[in-house]
Structure 1
Amino acid sequence: MVKVADRLQGQQQSPLRAMTIRCQELGAINLAQGLSQVPPPPALLAEGTRDFEHLGHSYSAPEGLPGFREAVADKLKRHSGLSVDPATQVVATVGATGALMATLTALLDAGDGVLLFEPFYSYHLAALRMLQLSPEPVRLTGPGFETTEAALRAAITDKTRAMILCTPNNPTGRRLTAGELAAVSAVAEEYDLLVITDEVYADIYHGVTPHLAPASVGDLGDRTVTIASLGKTFSIPGWRVGYACGPPELMSRIRLAADALVVCAPVPLQELGIRALRLGDDYYQELRQMYERKRRILADGFMAAGLTPNTPEGSYYLYVDCSPMPVATGTEAAELLLERSLVGTVAGEAFYLDQPDRPYVRVCFSLPDEVLTEAADRIGRAGLTHG
C-alpha cells in the first residue's frame, strides 16, 4: 500500500462539511456551513456575463493584476484607514484561505507555535496542522469572549512565533476593541511575534461603529499580515478571490509562496473583482441592513425555543448557548436540533482544541429570508428545551 504523508495524520473531514452532507441526505435546512447563499450584486453579474469573453484568460503575475491590487489598496484606505502600496504590499490570492496558506508557508517553519484565540475558525487549525505548525490556544470564555493581555502572556511558549486574529470573529461574531488590540500589540512587540489577521467579515458589522483593522492600531502595522477576500462582502465565495497585505519585506516572501502554491488567482475574476471593490458606500449600507434583518429572523426562532442567541458585532453567524437543552455538549445539541427540527448546525466543539465550557452551536444566516423564516419556525416548534 502506498504510504501517505505524515502531515495528514489526524486530519479529518471538516465537521462543517460533514453536517452539510448530512443535511443533503436528510433534506434538512443547512445553517451549519457559511455558504453565503444570498445573491451577488446584480450589476456585477450583468457585467460579468456581458464582458467575460473580453476579460483576461491567461496568467497574471503571481501578486495579481495591477488594477486589482490598486482597487484593494483603495478600498483598504477608504474602509480601514490603512495606507498600503499596491505594488509592494498587496498579493492577490485564491481566497482568504490561499492567503493564509501562503503566509504560513512563507513566514513560519514546521514546529513553530501559533496562538489561536479559542473559539477559532476551524480552517485556521487545519492550515496549521497541514503545515506541521503547533497550535497554542488562548481560551476565551462566554458570553463576552474578551481578550486580555494576561491570557495572551499565559499562552506564550518558547516555540511561539505568531498569532492569528479573526475580527469580526468566526464563530462568535465578536470584534476586537482598541484596548484588546493594544494588548496584542504590546505582547507581539515584546516577543517579536508575527500577527496574521483574518478580516473576511470586515464589511459585515452590526451597529454604527465601523470595522477596526488591527494593523491600524499602535505599531501592529509593522508586523501584521492582513488577509481578506471578496467572497463574503459580495456573496461570491465560489470565485475564490482574496488578498494579503502587509509590510513589503513580508509580502515579497508571501508572493513567492503564492506563486509556488497556485501560480496566481483567477485572472478574469480578478478583473471583475476590481469592479466589485469600487462599489459605492450605498452598497455596503444595504449589505449591513440586509444582514441585520436576517439575524433577527433567525434569532427570533431560537428565542421562541427558549434559547438566547448571542448578538454578534459582525459576521453572519449566531453563536447559541444550548445550556437550557437536555444536552451536555454542542455535539449533542446539534444532533437534537437536526433530529427534532431538520435544521443543521455546527457544534461548538469544531472551534476548540479542548471541550468548550458550554454546549454551543453556530448557525449561519446568510440565506434567503424565506429559508431563514422556515428554519426559525422549525426551531421554535421543536420542543428543544424538553427532555
Structure 2
Amino acid sequence: MVKIANRLRGLQQSTLGAMTVRCQELGALNLAQGRSQVPPPASLLAEGSRDFKELGHSYSQPEGLAVFREAVSDKVKRHSGLSVEPATQVLATVGATGALAATLTALLDAGDGVILFEPFYSYYLSALKMQNLRPEPVRLVGPDFAITEKPLRAAINGRTRAMIICSPNNPSGHRLTATELEIVSAVAEEHDLLVITDEVYEDIYFGPAPHLAAATVGNLEERTVTLGSLGKSFSIPGWRLGYVCGPELLISAIRIAADALVACAPAPLQELGARALSLGEDYYRDLRAMYDRKRRTLAEGFAAAGLSPNEPEGSYYLFVDCSRMGVTTGVEAAEILLENSLVGTVPGEAFYLAAPDRPYIRACFSVPDDVIAEAVSRLVSGV
C-alpha cells in the first residue's frame, strides 16, 4: 500500500473549512471563513474586463513582473514609510500563504523552533508542520492580547530560530504598538531570530493612527520578512496574489524557494494588481469606513444576544467571549450558535495550540450588509 508522508500526520481539514461545509448543509449564514465577500473596486473590475485579453498570459519571471514589484514598493513607502528596492527586495507570490511557505522553506530547517503568539491564524500551524518545524507558543491575554517581554523570553530555547507576528491580528484584531514591537526587536536581536510579519490586514484598521509596519521599528528591518496580500485590501482573495518584502539576501533565497514551489504568481493578475495598488487614499478611507460600520453592527448584535464581543483595532473579525452562554469551550459555543441561530462561526480553539482560557468564537464581518443584518436578527432571537 502506498504510504502517506509523515509530515501529514495529525493534519486534517481546517476547522474553518469544516464549518463552511456545516453551514452549507444546514443553510446557515457563514461568518466563519474570512473570504472577503464584499465587492472589489468597480474600476478594477471594469479595467480587467476591458483589458484582460491584451495582458500577458505566459509566465512571469519567478520574482514577478517589474510593474507589480514597483507598485508594491510605492504603496509600502506611501503607507508605512518603509523603503524596499523593487528589483531586489520585493517578490510576487501566490497569496500571502505562498509567501509564508516560500519563506519557511528558504530560511528555516526541519526541527527549528518558531514562536507563535496565541491566538494565531490557524494556517501558520499547518505551514510549520508541513516543514517539520516546531511551534513554540506564547500565550497572549485578552482582551487586549498585547505582547509582553517576560512570557516571550521564557519561550525562547536553543532551537528557536524565528517568530511570526501578525498586525492587525487575525483573529483578535489587535494592532501591535511601537512598545510591543520594540520588545520583539530586542528579543530577536539578542537571540538572532528571523521575524516573519504578516501584515495582510494593514489597510483595514479603525482609528486615526496609520498602520505601523514592524520593519520600521527598532532594528527589525535587517531581520524581518514582511508578508502582504491584495486579497484583503481589494476583496480579491481568489486572485491569490501576494508579495513578500525584506532584506535583499533573504528575498534572494525566498525567490529560489518560490520558484521551486510554484514557478511564479499569475502574470495577468500581477498587471491588474499593480493598478489596484495605485488607487488613491480616498479608496482606503472608504474601505475602512465600510468595515467600521460592519464591525459596529455585528458587535451590537452579539452584545444584544448577551455575549461579549471585543473591540478589534483592525482586520475584519470579532473575537467573542461566550462565557455568558454557560459553556466552557468555543467548540460548544460555535455549535450552539450554529444549531440555535443558524450562524456559523469558528471556535477559538482553532487559534491556539492548547485550550484557550475562555470560550471564544471568531466571526467575520467581511460579508454583505444584509447578511450581517440577518445574522444579528438570528443571534438576538436564537441565543
TM bucket (normalised to shorter chain) is over 0.9
CA distance in 2 between counterparts of 1:209 and 1:325 reads 35
Deviations 1:328-387 (A, max 9, x none): 1000000000011000000000000000000000000000000100001100111x2xxx
Q: Helix, strand or coil for the counterpart of 2:168? A: coil
Structure 1: tracts of 5 or more residues without a match? none
Distance 1:152 1:191 in 2: 12
Match of 2:381 in 1: 381
The one-letter amino acid paired with 1:169 is N
Which residue is 2:298 aligned to?
298
The match for 1:44 is 44
Matched, 1:56 2:52: no
Q: Counterpart of 1:324 in 2: which secondary structure?
A: helix
Supply the distance in 1 between the matched residues of 2:318 and 2:94 (Cα, whole angstroms).
Answer: 27
Superposition misfits of 4+ residues, deviation over 2 angstroms: none
Give me the whole-angstrom Cα distance separating, in 2, the residues matched to 1:255 and 1:143. 38
CA separation in 1, counterparts of 2:303 and 2:362? 15
* 1:163 aligned residue: 163
Matches of 2:218 and 2:141 in 1, distance apart? 26
Amino acid at match of 1:250: L
In the alignment, which residue of structure 2 is the partner of 1:356? 356
Q: CA deviation at 1:36?
A: 0.5
Give CA-to-partner distance per residue, 1:296-348, whole Å, 9 cap, x none.
11111101111120000000000000000021100000000001100000000
Question: Following TM superposition, by how much is the alpha carbon of 1:140 offset from its aligned partner in structure 2, in angstroms?
Answer: 0.5
Structure 1 residue 143, shift from structure 2 partner: 1.1
Map of 1:127 onto structure 2: 127
For residues 326 and 182 of structure 2, what CA distance do their matches in structure 1 show? 41
Determine whether 1:254 maps to 2:254.
yes
- What's 2:236 paired with? 236
Corresponding residue number in structure 2 for 1:34: 34
Deviations 1:180-228 (A, max 9, x none): 0000000000000000000000000011111100000011000000001
Query: Quick one: percent identity of the two aligned structures?
Result: 73
Cα RMSD (Å): 0.5
Matched letter for residue 268 of structure 2: P
Question: Deviation of residue 257 (structure 1)?
Answer: 0.3
Count of paired positions: 383
Alignment partner, residue 336 of structure 1: 336
The alignment partner of 1:264 has SS state of coil
User: Distance between the aligned counterparts of 2:346 and 2:101, measured in 1?
Assistant: 24
Pairwise CA distance, 1:144: 1.5
Inter-partner Cα distance in structure 2 for 1:188 and 1:225? 13
- Which residue of 2 is the match for residue 207 of structure 1? 207
TM, length-normalised to structure 2 = 1.00
**What is the CA–CA distance in structure 2 between the aligned matches of 1:124 and 1:228, rounded to whole Å?**
15
Corresponding residue SS for 2:325: coil
* Superposition TM-score, scaled by structure 1 size: 0.99
